[in-house]
Amino acid sequence: MHAMHYEQVEEDNFLSKASQWKKTKSSKFVLSACLVLVVITCLAYGTAKFGHVGNIVSFYKVPATTPTNSQLPSRAGYDFNIIQPPPPRNQIRTPVKSNSNPDGFTKYTYNLFDHPLVLQAARYSKYPQDVANLCFGPAPNVDIYIKEDKVSPDVYGDFGLNVFALDCRSLESGPQYRLLGFIAVMDMYGNLVNALSWNVWGGSEVECVNMFNTTTVLFTTQRAAYHWDYTTNALVMLPFASDTHSLVYRYTDDRYYGLFSDKYAIEDHNAQAAVAFDPYTGTNSIIDPNYPGWSFYYGESHFNYLSVDGDFAYASSRQLNSLIKINMRTNQIEWFLGGSGSSFTIYDINGNPYPSRVDKSDFVHLPWGHQHKFQTLGNNYFSLFDNNVGNDHKVRTMKPWGSSSRNVILYVDEETMQAWEIYSYIIGDDAMSYGCTEVLPSGNILTNSYVDWVYPTVEDQQYHVNIWEISRETNEPVWRIGFKGLNPVTPQDVSSPYPHYFSDPMNPDSAAPTGWNIYNVDRVYQTVSLINICVGNSNGKTVIQFAPFNTIKTQADAPGVVYVSQNGNIIGKGNFYFQRSWLARPEQVVVDANLHSYEGVSITVNNQWNNPRTVYLDDSVAKCT
């Protein structure tokens, strides 16, 4: 029955038209075959050269002599033993299950450096001794906390995979700063499904990652943008470079949207221009003013994410603490959401309005401070990660909930120019940088949090960086991955608190992260999913209602098809669009009969990449109200 459904869905005209961009695009890329061959050859060569990479662990032992403050680079000011650490928070966010706490988390451990690809990446690092000093340990260095019954409970057992760029950084400014890095695809139990290291294939650092399709990761370095198929290891270089903060693709107009990699973005890590890239030539209207594409410049903005919806672009400006809506047809600013010049009256989670027109340095009264990945979700919803920091990334802002960073979801009414926080979760970490807030099909929230101070002997706060899934029902974590690291000054000291950053006068942010870091995290599912299935009756025919979810988030609603079968015979079918950001939106399909029994009835949903899901009904199916 499944094979029949797949075949019929695959041939559906609605999806085949939407997939034409994929076929056309692949025929115009001339770099893929050669580049993939080079990458695979390099991976094979590395394994052959070094033998069984699992045996090289002894190479990375912490040396007897370790750096001291006096040996640090002259431009770096590290706060270890210079300022006193703040006291650790009195919190246990993921208590382990025990006899006395049967509702606790099941804990798993994983050693990242047991994986051959990670070991190989370490071998290819230009600074292997620094990798040993700063990255290699403690073992095991990954802890996973999970409540299986609470993680994505209504997505039929498909927990999904987590995709992110993970890198280890030194105290040295310059090319030695990022010692080791890779794009990781990890399951919910911390198992590394695959990894692509830029140490191996010769790329430069990666920050933001987004899914291009069900198996392909879209990412960019300052040198070039890439597609990486984590199931085949195919790596395709795109004909343009984009700033590392953000790059997305929209199939409806076959364009990539990102931030322009100019000298401000490269030298100061301060992207100030947003642009649309031609997918075949890489041309854009900044490089070629005669090219009929879109670009937008706003000085001193520090853009850190760009999303698009229809004719509008939404640029997250960290410097302005705001989201800027730009009309891409006129290139005029429609409004600012947040910051000292906000166009909206914004209400906090308790319904109280934030003060309007406050000074740009008054972070206490601003709704959020130096946020990351402020994005549109469609349907008037927006999400952001509120870092809740002030100037220089080192100033903690005390809000009614304290100094912690938080996840925020907003509903915006552009007619009345009002915006409401409808979700606010206090993450429990002071994340001076990075982070995201992603709505999952289950309604849970996926997020990551940087940590400014590490407390190796405090179980809840021993990690450099965390990935979380938060239940929106209970507002509590249901899943966590914590990545441990070493004290970059005295790695043999495994007990003293230490800061997860250093001060660099050459860096405009003043405080630069060190150790292990993650910019954002994305989720991908192997098949589409559907929830909230119910049945009703209209004009003597059965109507089945369902809420479908695509395998990935997209920059426009994506086409889908639905088939209803009974005992192998199709009795209903229809076309619909998946909501772009996994917001639950009901769809309906009319059955060509008035069903009195649902035994033997199934509903199959598919997307443009042929990742179908079939759900079988019976007479216990809910009635629509």
Q: How far is the C-alpha of 383 from the C-alpha of 108, rounded, in Å?
A: 30
Arch. (CATH architecture) of 2-30+529-623: Sandwich (2.60)
597: exposed, middle or buried (Cβ count in 10 Å: 0-12, 13-18, 19+): exposed
- Cross-strand pairs, 515: 169
Task: Map residue 538 onto helix, strand or coil.
Answer: strand
DSSP state of 541: E
Task: Give the number of C-alpha atoms closer than 13 A to the C-alpha of residue 61, restricted to the C-beta side.
Answer: 6
Q: Which residue ranges make up each domain of the chain?
A: 2-30+529-623, 50-524
10 Å Cβ neighbour count for 622?
Answer: 12
Q: How far is the C-alpha of 175 from the C-alpha of 177, rounded, in Å?
A: 5
Q: How far is the C-alpha of 621 from the C-alpha of 623, rounded, in Å?
A: 7
pLDDT tier at 334, thresholds 50, 70, 90: very high
> Among the listed ranges 20-29, 102-111, 121-130, 215-224, which one has the minimum average pLDDT value?
20-29
Arch. (CATH architecture) of 50-524: 7 Propeller (2.130)
Higher pLDDT pick, 121 / 327: 327
Amino acid 75: pLDDT: 37
Closest CA to 247 of 233, 232, 265, 226: 226
- State both tokens at 539: 């004009």
Q: How far is the C-alpha of 5 from the C-alpha of 50, rounded, in Å?
A: 47
Q: Evaluate the CA torsion angle 199, 201, 203, 208 in order and state its sign.
A: negative
- Cross-strand pairs, 312: 309, 327
Amino acid 262: pLDDT: 79
Amino acid 506: pLDDT: 55
- Using the CB atoms, write b or e for 280-315: b if 16+ within 10 Å: eebbbbbeeeeeebbbbebeebbbbbbbbbeeebbb
**pLDDT per residue as tens digits for the range 58-101:** 323 333 333 333 333 433 445 544 557 888 999 999 999 999 99
**pLDDT per residue as tens digits for the range 351-400:** 999 998 888 888 889 999 999 999 999 999 999 999 999 876 666 788 99
**Is 0.85 surpassed by the pTM of this model?**
yes
In sequence order, which ranges of 548-591 are alpha helices (DSSP H)? Answer: none
**pLDDT per residue as tens digits for the range 5-37:** 223 333 344 454 444 444 334 434 434 434 444
Per CATH, 2-30+529-623 and 50-524 having the same topology is answered no
Q: How far is the C-alpha of 607 from the C-alpha of 605, rounded, in Å?
A: 7
DSSP state of 396: B
Question: Parallel, antiparallel, or unpaired for β 622-623 and 529-538?
Answer: parallel
Q: How far is the C-alpha of 564 from the C-alpha of 543, rounded, in Å?
A: 10
- 521, 532 contact by CB (below 8 A): no
The mean predicted confidence, pLDDT, of the chain is 85
Closest CA to 518 of 333, 373, 336: 373
Question: Parallel, antiparallel, or unpaired for β 511-513 and 501-503?
Answer: antiparallel
Amino acid 62: pLDDT: 32
Amino acid 154: pLDDT: 57
**pLDDT per residue as tens digits for the range 487-499:** 888 888 999 999 8
- State both tokens at 433: 């940088």
pLDDT tier at 198, thresholds 50, 70, 90: confident
Rounded to 5 degrees, φ, ψ at 383 are: -135, 155
Amino acid 555: pLDDT: 98
Share of the chain above pLDDT 70, in %: 83
Q: How far is the C-alpha of 433 from the C-alpha of 141, rounded, in Å?
A: 22
Residue 134 has pLDDT above 90, yes or no: no
